[in-house]
Amino acid sequence: MSTRASGRTVGGLRSLSLQAPAVTLLLIWMLIPLGMTLWFSFQRYNLLMPGMEQFAGLENYRYLLTDPALWSAMGTTLVLVGSVLAISVIGGTLLAVLYQQEFFGRGIARVLAISPFFIMPTVSALVWKNMMMHPVNGVLAWFTGLFGLPAIDWFSSYPLLSIIVIVAWQWLPFALLILLTALQSLDDDQVEAARMDGAGPVAVFFFITLPHLKRAISVVIMIQMIFLLTIFAEIFVTTSGGPGLATTNLAYLIYIRALLEFDVGGASAGGVIAIVLANIVAIFLIRMVARNLEE
């Protein structure tokens, strides 16, 4: 008995010693940037005034929380994340059902549908800005010209909608990939039995396919929401947060504070607020996914 206990203890210590370097490195990788962000958030620290740093207490947070730009950026972030999630989940579900069907060239069609996800965000934004939405040389301007309609300057007239389209175009294939993979495990006998009982395509979709995809949809929402909270490249390349603050989300507002206004203290306070919001969202989403996995 004691020999077994001793063996388990030695094995546990050996396993812990092997894991310790990786865990230590991960903690250092996480805690040092977080600690520096917290430290600077309590400092009055502007890069244009070197040597004049001083402790500011909660002044950076007070200024940021009373700044209308913060609430505008949070509203823009909410609209952007919610819109892209809706497009990705609904569109990804419908496309997954479509690409699950047998048709000629299905393999090539699947590869083409998934490929936008592997394009870098900056490249994707440049393609849409200069080749698709350009008011003179863009594909959309050429298409509207076929019907005698005037060209639309998308990034001036509909800036937030343009960003939503670009981001959704890139993240829709991710949802399609996850949902299509989940759809592979759907029992064909169950679908065939429902059809023999008289269920049409709509009934099969809502009562068999959609419940089967419930867990996969939860995973898609969790992963995408975490990444969508940090959208930056698409905004930087296309609108630079404008016109005004129309496309300035929380991540871009932090960039403006840090690298355009050189206010490291204010940007760090914004970073802390973003971390708190991201963790609240993550906790909520993890609980939702865990609840779906238990069902």
DSSP string, 72-126: HHHHHHHHHHHHHHHHHHHHHHHHHHHHHS--TTHHHHHHHHHGGGGS-HHHHHH
**Segment 67-107, tens digit of pLDDT:** 999 999 999 999 999 999 999 999 999 999 999 888 888 88
Out of 9-13, 56-60, 188-192, 279-283, least confident range: 9-13
**Segment 228-263, tens digit of pLDDT:** 998 999 999 999 998 989 999 999 999 999 999 899
pLDDT given at position 270: 93
How far is 173 from 118, CA to CA, in rounded Å? 9
Residue-averaged pLDDT of the chain: 88
> Which of 12 and 207 is assigned the larger pLDDT?
207
pTM over 0.75: yes
Range of the domain at 121: 60-294
Name the E strands within the chain: 43-44, 54-55
Domain membership flag for residue 92: yes
pLDDT given at position 202: 85
How many domains would you assign to the chain? 1
Domain membership flag for residue 50: no
Q: Decide: helix, strand or coil at residue 40.
A: helix
- CATH code where residue 179 lies: 1.10.3720.10
Q: What is the largest CA-CA distance in the chain?
A: 88
Domain membership flag for residue 193: yes
Domain membership flag for residue 100: yes
Mean pLDDT of 137-155: 91
Asked if residue 10 has pLDDT above 80, the reply is no
**Those residues with Cβ within 8 angstroms of residue 121's Cβ, 6 or more apart along the chain or in another chain:** 170, 233, 234
Domain membership flag for residue 197: yes
Domain membership flag for residue 19: no
Domain membership flag for residue 256: yes
- % pLDDT > 70, the chain: 94
Out of 71-85, 112-126, 195-209, least confident range: 195-209
pLDDT given at position 167: 96
Q: Decide: helix, strand or coil at residue 162.
A: helix
Residue 17: which pLDDT band, with cuts at 50, 70 and 90?
A: confident
pLDDT given at position 13: 65
Residue 24: which pLDDT band, with cuts at 50, 70 and 90?
A: confident
pLDDT given at position 1: 47
Residue 207: which pLDDT band, with cuts at 50, 70 and 90?
A: confident
How far is 137 from 148, CA to CA, in rounded Å? 16
Please give the helix or strand (H or E) that residue 64 lies within, else none: helix 59-65
Mean pLDDT of 179-208: 85
Mean pLDDT of 253-280: 91
